[in-house]
Structure 1
Amino acid sequence: MTGPVGVAVVGCGTISHQYLRNLTSFPDLRVVGCADLDVERARQVARQYGVPVAGAPAEVIAHPDVELVVNLTIPAAHAAVAAAAVAAGRHVYNEKPFALDRESGTEVIEAAAAAGVRLGCAPDTFLGAGLQTAARLVAEGAIGTPLTALTLLQTPGPESWHPSPEFLFKPGAGPLFDMGPYYLTALVTLFGPAERVAAVARRAREERVVGSGPRAGTRFPVEVPTHTTALLEFAAGQAATMVFSFDSPLPRLGFIEITGTEATMELPDPNTFDGAVRLRRALADDWVTVPAEGATAGRGLGVLDMAQAIRAGRPHRATGELGLHVLDTMLAVAGSAERGEFLPVGSTCEVPGPLPAGWDPAQGLL
């Protein structure tokens, strides 16, 4: 096929608006349909973004103009929706995490391979200007040989601002599974795959309270750890210390620091697409700022790269295998915290190549 790739968005909740603002603006994509179990919500979102088709997931996935399904459902539904789209012969781009468990994630990978369709997975923030700039600097030897990393994600929790935060405290979420993919994907794309992990985890409170919206004041149970500290060892030899917490009164967001033999590098927030990189060389008195160069459009860059790759017959970058490896690493972290021992990470993945210099999402290639 030629021309823009037909896209269906399945799951029209809060995050869908960030995607649709971009997906409907990229010349190489044509958003054909919006789907949700709440069909009226799908219709409202479709009208808002000028999308011609709206309906239930199975109906929209089956539309003949849909080639690529963007799966923005809740984590517990990711694998099932992806499997249904694959069975219909569609390429699939999942929101993170790729699945809730290794088995269902692996089944989707195998089904896609058998069907000859592609899988992608968020986050795609590593395709943004900030992390692409960092990757180029590492590849050019700006910090020497990368040795270690430190990441921090500490907040009081999302229930203060999210009008329906319950799913963020259920299996498949919590700070590790909700926010961990941004930090782990950034490190895997810089260091390569993780090899083994150790971790401890805690849960500060058994209940939380919705803090905003029409349901403010509603109490709900906390089903997962809300603080995890992990040690990771990568196959190439690097080590990382990582903190993921919804229990901290003092917010520390977006902190990633990588130390090499020649310099330390401070990366931008991995949950964003922009932001300067800072370098501090050995014995230097201060940091040097390196402005970010690249795409800053926001969520959906991975979908766009995947669509262009489909047409060009080349590999895409935000792959299902990368998403499954990040999931596998998080599951190993959670298992280590439960068992109190180092655990191996059984999967691996290819490190995505850099984007072409000057890649511009607003400039259509198809």
Structure 2
Amino acid sequence: MAADQTTGIAIIGCGYVADSYRQCLSLHADTLRLAGAFDRDPQRLAAYTATWGGRAYASLDEVLADGSCAILLNLTDPESHAAVTQAAIAAGKHVYSEKPLAMTATEAATLRDAARNAGVRLASAPCNLLGESMQTAWAAIRAGTIGKVLLAYAEIDDGMIHRAGYDSWVSRSGKPWPGRGEFETGCTYEHAGYALTVFAALFGPARRVTSFAALLVPDKGTTPPLAHPAPDFSVGCIEYDNGVVVRLTNSIVAPYDHRMRIIGETGTIEIKEPWDYASPVILRRPGQGRIARFIERRLGGGLGKRLPMARRVPFKGGRGKPTMDFLRGPAELAAAIREDRPSRLDEDFAVHVTELTEMLQHPERFDRPALVQSRFAPIEPMDWAR
């Protein structure tokens, strides 16, 4: 694709995650072009552009008036997502928002409707669904490798973050990890989407959610103390239209465990790390007979076979580099706009994930079990994973 055919994007919010997005730009040099960046903190903006180069916008209004920017990447803090996205929609910009799309399903649906009325597109992170590991697992399920899917488990336990010395976690441009914001937004809002998007693609719309959430460690040792600490544990059972049942756990209390297991009639597919596009996809068969059962019990799941990836991961993560391509979501949105087709992470999909996330973190707002209101069209696998 010629340079003048690339899609212009602008970054709003130069916080911790913005470095991960910028670091992935070279993977999309033929399709995406960075028009510039803006942050309401002038020092933060200066540090970001000093590290990465590029234009520093003087204001959000300047970004919204820039005709070279077609897609706004909303990387602001979660509580600001809705307001910034609404302003971008009103200015005729397409938006790719970091998760969550909004803090409530009602807000998310309002943004969806506004985008449609304005004739612009809206999509939301996370985009790990589009990664090689998840696409490989999905292809195996479509091929009937484990038979009919019955059940799925996902653990998104991050360990006791407040005891992990997170004050030393600094992004490449010098932004400290936003511990206070994470503790007040909540680990479910921050992390559940990494599982919910995958399950939505695999199983379609959810029908009912039965959930429980709790604040187990109110004092996270912050100075000053947290004004509004969010639940640091949630667990939910999600029933899907096709009969599959999912159990999803989120916490920043239990030891680190990101396993995802998809259980079918003839086997189980396991992914160790949904935040890693290169995470191995393991096929396990159920133990049959005494020896097989003994091995299964002793080895925590039995012997497994590593499935070949749908394609080689086109980048190397680790050692300070992201293990997932954060810009694959914006690139998918840009491609959908160019090709005049639905995005795989479109506004209906984003609203659905937001609704489920709210049900998991705030079960007190809903009936029990809670009936899911939002729907979305079936998601298509990536062309290289069909």
Q: TM-score under structure 1 normalisation? A: 0.89
Partner secondary structure for residue 208 of structure 1 = coil
Partner secondary structure for residue 142 of structure 1 = coil
In the aligned structure 2, how far is the partner of 1:47 from the partner of 1:192?
Answer: 44
Structure 2 counterpart of 1:292: 309
Matched, 1:97 2:100: yes
Offset, 1:186? 1.4
Structure 1 counterpart of 2:142: 139
In the aligned structure 2, how far is the partner of 1:325 from the partner of 1:13?
Answer: 26
Distance 1:133 1:222, change over 3 A: same
1:251 pairs, out of 227, 242, 256, with 256
Offset, 1:306? 1.2
Structure 1 counterpart of 2:236: 230
Structure 2 counterpart of 1:345: 372
Structure 2 counterpart of 1:362: none
Offset, 1:317? 1.2
Partner secondary structure for residue 81 of structure 1 = helix
Unaligned runs of 5+ in 2: 168-175, 293-302, 316-324
Partner secondary structure for residue 70 of structure 1 = strand
In the aligned structure 1, how far is the partner of 2:385 from the partner of 2:49?
Answer: 32
Matched, 1:80 2:80: no
Structure 2 counterpart of 1:213: none
Give the AA of the match of 2:277: F
Structure 2 counterpart of 1:21: 23
Task: Note the 1:1-366 alignment, pairs <5 A.
Answer: 3-26=5-28, 27-159=30-162, 160=164, 161=166, 163=176, 164-170=178-184, 173-210=185-222, 219-221=225-227, 223-248=229-254, 250-252=255-257, 254-283=258-287, 285=292, 286-294=303-311, 295=313, 297=315, 298-336=325-363, 341-357=368-384
In the aligned structure 2, how far is the partner of 1:315 from the partner of 1:242?
Answer: 28
Offset, 1:105? 1.0
Unaligned runs of 5+ in 1: 211-216, 360-366
Offset, 1:55? 2.7
Offset, 1:301? 0.3
In the aligned structure 2, how far is the partner of 1:296 from the partner of 1:318?
Answer: 21
Contact 1:268/1:274 (<8 A) preserved:
no
Offset, 1:221? 4.3
In the aligned structure 1, how far is the partner of 2:105 from the partner of 2:230?
Answer: 18
Contact 1:266/1:277 (<8 A) preserved:
yes
In the aligned structure 2, how far is the partner of 1:296 from the partner of 1:330?
Answer: 31
In the aligned structure 2, how far is the partner of 1:43 from the partner of 1:292?
Answer: 40
Offset, 1:314? 2.1
Aligned identity (percent) is 28
Partner secondary structure for residue 306 of structure 2 = strand
Higher mean C-alpha displacement, 349-358 vs 32-41: 349-358
Give the AA of the match of 1:17: D
Distance 1:185 1:290, change over 3 A: same
Contact 1:202/1:228 (<8 A) preserved:
yes
In the aligned structure 1, how far is the partner of 2:235 from the partner of 2:367?
Answer: 12
In the aligned structure 1, how far is the partner of 2:272 from the partner of 2:331?
Answer: 22
In the aligned structure 2, how far is the partner of 1:203 from the partner of 1:45?
Answer: 34
In the aligned structure 2, how far is the partner of 1:351 from the partner of 1:272?
Answer: 24
Give the AA of the match of 1:223: P
Give the AA of the match of 1:259: I
Distance 1:204 1:11, change over 3 A: same
Contact 2:135/2:385 (<8 A) preserved:
no
Contact 1:4/1:30 (<8 A) preserved:
yes
Partner secondary structure for residue 354 of structure 1 = coil
- Structure with greater proportional strand content: 1
In the aligned structure 1, how far is the partner of 2:241 from the partner of 2:4?
Answer: 40
Partner secondary structure for residue 197 of structure 1 = strand
Offset, 1:2? 6.3
Contact 1:332/1:344 (<8 A) preserved:
no
Distance 1:339 1:44, change over 3 A: closer
Contact 2:161/2:253 (<8 A) preserved:
no
Distance 1:352 1:2, change over 3 A: farther
Offset, 1:219? 4.1
Offset, 1:309? 1.9
Higher mean C-alpha displacement, 256-265 vs 328-337: 328-337
In the aligned structure 2, how far is the partner of 1:344 from the partner of 1:181?
Answer: 19
Partner secondary structure for residue 192 of structure 2 = helix
In the aligned structure 2, how far is the partner of 1:342 from the partner of 1:335?
Answer: 13
Offset, 1:337? 5.2
Offset, 1:157? 3.7
In the aligned structure 2, how far is the partner of 1:305 from the partner of 1:240?
Answer: 27
In the aligned structure 2, how far is the partner of 1:330 from the partner of 1:219?
Answer: 26
